[in-house]
């Protein structure tokens, strides 16, 4: 078997800091489990702009298309606010998603027992929570045409277009139903069919795919604003949520706070299968470059480490090893170790970014 290849794109701000901790887990897998990865590293976002004048060099894009999986840290930061829109760090990430056609963005929100009293919501609302948000990632208002800022008479007009084709909705709906069959067998689809034609089509197509191919899965529909309310009122009513690009962006940040911190939430962005049968894939934490804490050793590396665990599960068929990493994370949290973002009134053992990574490696050692 050829060694699986991984392209690591640490990016900006806390991206490189959390990725350094993921490297420890990758090294551990090689040393202790005989699982070697052919790892290469490159630039994305502001770091790529600083070197090449573009947030994603064509060579990096080409490499991303060839490897078995891409792991990304985070992009962006105030230093780049002044740049022209076309070369902003975020454009690099959006190009990766679009050109790799990563249409299904899996954003699980799981509340670890040790953190159930840490959420801003009541413990009984979040304890045991385990939901999966599937966000459409390559279309919708993020990419629709026409777009831009132009002059109409004396004033400027900003335009973005929400656009979905039937096939774009159908493929992400299938991802959601497939996922539900492996979990609680329930899908809730969220749109705003009450005000948007694209929402009407979304609802119709999700229902059609359900009726024709997945009648065994329980399907419900909700307006996305009501969905946001229900997610904070009683999130455990949900199993899989499927929604569009923009609503998915908002709802997954909201779901992050059910788990305690944005620093906890991983994601997988999956596309169609490649020739080797593996899906095109990019894994990244849901959080951004956190400029307010960058360079201080305060970042929580768990979201990025759990993103690597998702890579083990979805790209490399190593579900058992993924579970091993997830258990190790659970263990250090149960032991009371807390990066600053997880430090509540009840206290805990304060650890730095690298302290958290080292503790997870130690917990992995203990799992053998």
Give the residue numbers marked as catalytic.
142, 192, 225, 249, 253
Least Å distance, CB 231 to ligand IPM, is 16
Partner from ligand IPM, ligand NAD, Mn ion, none binding residue 300, C-beta < 5-8 Å depending on class: ligand NAD
Assess 244 for contact with Mn ion (CB under 5 A): no
Assess 130 for contact with ligand IPM (CB under 6 A): no
DSSP state for residue 68 in the 8-state scheme: S
d(CA 9, CA 19): 9
d(CA 258, CA 251): 11
Task: Please say which residue, 29 or 224, places its beta carbon nearer to ligand IPM.
Answer: 224
Residues numbered 280-319 forming contacts with ligand IPM, rule: CB under 6 A: 286, 288
Cβ neighbours for 304, distance < 8 A, ≥ 6 positions apart: 18, 19, 21, 22, 71, 73, 266, 284, 285
**Helix segments in the chain, DSSP class H:** 15-33, 46-52, 58-66, 89-99, 123-126, 166-182, 197-213, 224-233, 245-258, 302-314, 319-334, 353-366
Assess 249 for contact with Mn ion (CB under 5 A): yes
Give the phi and the psi of residue 217 in degrees, each rounded to 5: -90, 135
Least Å distance, CB 68 to ligand NAD, is 21
Number of residues forming the site for Mn ion (CB under 5 A) = 1
Task: Please say which residue, 4 or 271, places its beta carbon nearer to ligand IPM.
Answer: 271
Partner from ligand IPM, ligand NAD, Mn ion, none binding residue 341, C-beta < 5-8 Å depending on class: ligand NAD
With contacts defined by CB under 5 A, name the span among 31-39, 126-134, 246-254, 273-281 that binds Mn ion: 246-254
Residue 84 counted as an annotated binding residue? yes
Q: Pick from 136, 244, 249, 326 the residue near ligand IPM by CB under 6 A.
A: 249
Residue ranges at the known binding site for substrate: 97, 107, 135, 225
């Amino acid at each position: 078997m050829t060694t699986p290849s991984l392209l690591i794109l640490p990016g900006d701000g806390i991206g490189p800091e959390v990725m350094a901790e993921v490297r420890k887990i990758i090294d551990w897998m090689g040393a202790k489990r005989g699982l070697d990865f052919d790892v290469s590293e490159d630039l994305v976002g502001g770091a790529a702009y600083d070197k090449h004048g573009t947030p994603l060099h064509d060579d990096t894009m080409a490499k991303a298309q060839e490897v078995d999986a891409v792991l990304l840290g985070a992009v962006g930061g105030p230093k780049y606010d002044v740049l022209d829109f076309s070369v902003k760090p975020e454009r690099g990430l959006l190009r990766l998603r679009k050109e790799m056609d990563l249409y299904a963005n899996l954003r699980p929100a799981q509340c670890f027992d040790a953190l159930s009293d840490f959420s801003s919501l009541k413990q009984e609302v979040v304890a045991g929570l385990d939901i999966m948000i599937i966000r459409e990632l390559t279309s919708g208002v993020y990419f629709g045409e026409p777009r831009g800022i132009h002059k109409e008479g004396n004033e400027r007009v900003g335009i973005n277009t929400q656009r979905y084709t039937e096939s774009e909705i159908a493929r992400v709906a299938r991802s959601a139903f497939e996922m539900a069959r492996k979990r609680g067998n329930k899908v809730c689809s969220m749109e705003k069919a009450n005000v948007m034609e694209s929402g009407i089509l979304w609802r119709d197509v999700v229902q059609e795919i359900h009726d024709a191919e997945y009648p065994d899965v329980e399907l419900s529909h909700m307006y996305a604003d009501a969905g946001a309310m229900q997610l904070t009122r009683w999130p455990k009513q949900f199993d899989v949520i499927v929604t569009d690009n923009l609503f998915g962006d908002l709802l997954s940040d909201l779901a992050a706070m059910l788990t305690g911190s944005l620093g906890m939430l991983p994601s997988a962005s999956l596309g169609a299968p490649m020739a080797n049968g593996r899906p095109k894939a990019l894994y990244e934490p849901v959080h951004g470059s956190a400029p307010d804490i960058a360079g201080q050793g305060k970042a929580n590396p768990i979201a990025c480490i759990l993103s690597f665990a998702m890579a083990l599960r979805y790209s490399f068929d190593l579900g058992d090893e993924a579970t091993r990493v997830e258990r190790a994370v659970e263990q250090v949290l149960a032991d009371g170790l807390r990066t600053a973002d997880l430090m509540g009134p009840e206290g805990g053992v304060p650890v730095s970014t690298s302290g958290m990574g080292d503790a997870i490696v130690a917990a992995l050692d203990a799992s053998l």
